[in-house]
Every structure is written in C-alpha cells, then in structure tokens.
Amino acid sequence: MDILTLELFDVTVSEALREVVRAVEERPTLPLRILLGGDRMLRHNVQRLLERLGRPGILSQDGTVWRLEVAGKGAPREAGGQPGPAAPVRPAADPGEAVLGPPPVLVTRSRLGSGDEDMGRRLLVGLLRELDPGVPWVGLALGGLELLQDPQALAVLEQLQARGTGVRISREGQLFALAPSPFEIMEDSQWQRLAGRGRLTIL
C-alpha cells in the first residue's frame, strides 16, 4: 500500500499547516506519514489540525525525527501493518500561496494608541485575549517585550501558550532583557521573512 510522505523540516507553523491541508485534500484516501523535527510547537499545531480535519495521527519518535502516521480517509489503520513504499512530497516554496488560517501576530508595542497608557495597555491585553485560536503564535519584539513586566499581560500570554498558541520572544530583544524569557526565543529573521511576504500581523 502506498503512503504519502510529507517532510516538514525547516518550515514555519503556517507553512506546515498549509502543506498538511494540501496533502490531505489532494490525496484523501492515501495514508499520510508526516516527518517532523524537534519543534514541539509545530508538532502540537499539526496534531491539532489533523484532529480538526478528522484525521488524527499516531506520533512516534525515531532519534531526532518525529513521525505522525495518519490513516487514509475511509481506510482504518490495521494493527501491526507494515508501511508501503513512500511517495515523497516536499513543501511548496511559493510565498504567494494562501496561508491556512490566520497569520502569526507580532506585538511591537506595550499599548494601543498614544493616549492614556493604562487604557491602551488594557485594550492591547484584551485584544490578545480575543485572538483566534487558529493563530499559530504570538511574537514579542521592541516595545512589546514590556508586556512581560505586566502581571495581567503575562497571565494572558501564558493562557495563549497553554491553549496551543505559542509565544515567542525576539532574540534581538532578549539580548537586552533583565531576566531570562519564560517563552521560546525566536530568531528575528523568522518574523522578518513572514513580514516581508505579507504573512504576519504586526501590532
């Protein structure tokens, strides 16, 4: 039996989700094998997407590679079955393609507007609280890093992380931080690349 293999190394969460949807839609009856690296947040988001699509996978680890085995639509997995030859599928590199779901969000300020500081901070925190669950991650850079010093904002960021929306901190900004970040450090080239392609919401 053929298996469609999808290799998701060195891709963003949005790119990975787009490729999973494309593979599932184009070859729905084929079992799908998804190979992933060490990015825990990416694995979590891919698993959540498959569950929403009604195609939950079985996760296993082989050294540094994680593997998700997903049964074909209408073809239940046979216990102990041996995988057949793989048909490799590489992620598409065209940045002009539509991205599945809402884009990531980068917060570059500590409050909304230029008026009352406390009101602006409350409004920004409220906005983060209402983010669509499909947002793959929220990044903090520049003035947005001040949110880490606000207990209310920090609590909302921790809630986002707990529900599966990752929180990432600009590496450049972390160089000047007074304390270690409680969240994942993000290379600035990652959000810069997405922003340059129009695939990032910047606040």
HEC string of 166-195 equals: EEEEEHHHHCCCCCCCCCEEECHHHHHHHH
120 and 113 Cβ atoms separated by less than 8 Å: yes
Question: In this structure, is the dihedral angle defined by the CA atoms of residues 73, 76, 79 and 83, taken in order, positive or negative?
Answer: negative
Distance from C-alpha of 146 to C-alpha of 134, rounded to nearest angstrom: 25
> Is 109 inside a domain boundary?
yes
Residues 64 and 116 in one domain: no
> Is 22 inside a domain boundary?
yes
> Is 152 inside a domain boundary?
yes
Q: How many domains does the chain have?
A: 2
> Is 61 inside a domain boundary?
yes
Residues 71 and 113 in one domain: no
Q: Is the pLDDT of residue 198 over 90?
A: no
Q: Is the pLDDT of residue 85 over 50?
A: no
> Is 96 inside a domain boundary?
no
Radius of gyration of the chain (CA): 19
> Is 95 inside a domain boundary?
no
Query: What is the structure's pLDDT at 177?
Result: 57
Q: Mean of the pLDDT values across residues 159-166?
A: 86
Give the domain range for residue 20.
3-89
Residues 72 and 133 in one domain: no
pLDDT band for position 157 (cuts 50, 70, 90): very high
Residues 120 and 159 in one domain: yes
> Is 100 inside a domain boundary?
no
Distance from C-alpha of 58 to C-alpha of 81, rounded to nearest angstrom: 13
Nearest to 203 by CA among 126, 122, 109: 109
pLDDT band for position 88 (cuts 50, 70, 90): very low
Summarize pLDDT for 97-114 with one digit per residue, the tens: 334 568 999 999 988 887
Distance from C-alpha of 163 to C-alpha of 123, rounded to nearest angstrom: 21
Residues 55 and 109 in one domain: no
> Is 189 inside a domain boundary?
yes
Summarize pLDDT for 44-77 with one digit per residue, the tens: 888 888 888 888 888 888 888 899 899 887 644 4
Residues 64 and 144 in one domain: no
pLDDT band for position 1 (cuts 50, 70, 90): low
Residues 23 and 68 in one domain: yes
Residues 81 and 164 in one domain: no
88 and 9 Cβ atoms separated by less than 8 Å: no
Query: What is the structure's pLDDT at 137?
Result: 92
Domain boundary among 36, 61, 89: 89
Higher pLDDT, 46 or 96: 46
In sequence order, the 6+-apart residues with CB closer than 8 A to the CB of 159 are: 129
Residues 109 and 81 in one domain: no
Residues 128 and 42 in one domain: no
Query: What is the structure's pLDDT at 89?
Result: 41
Residues 184 and 119 in one domain: yes
CATH number where 52 lies: 3.30.1370.110
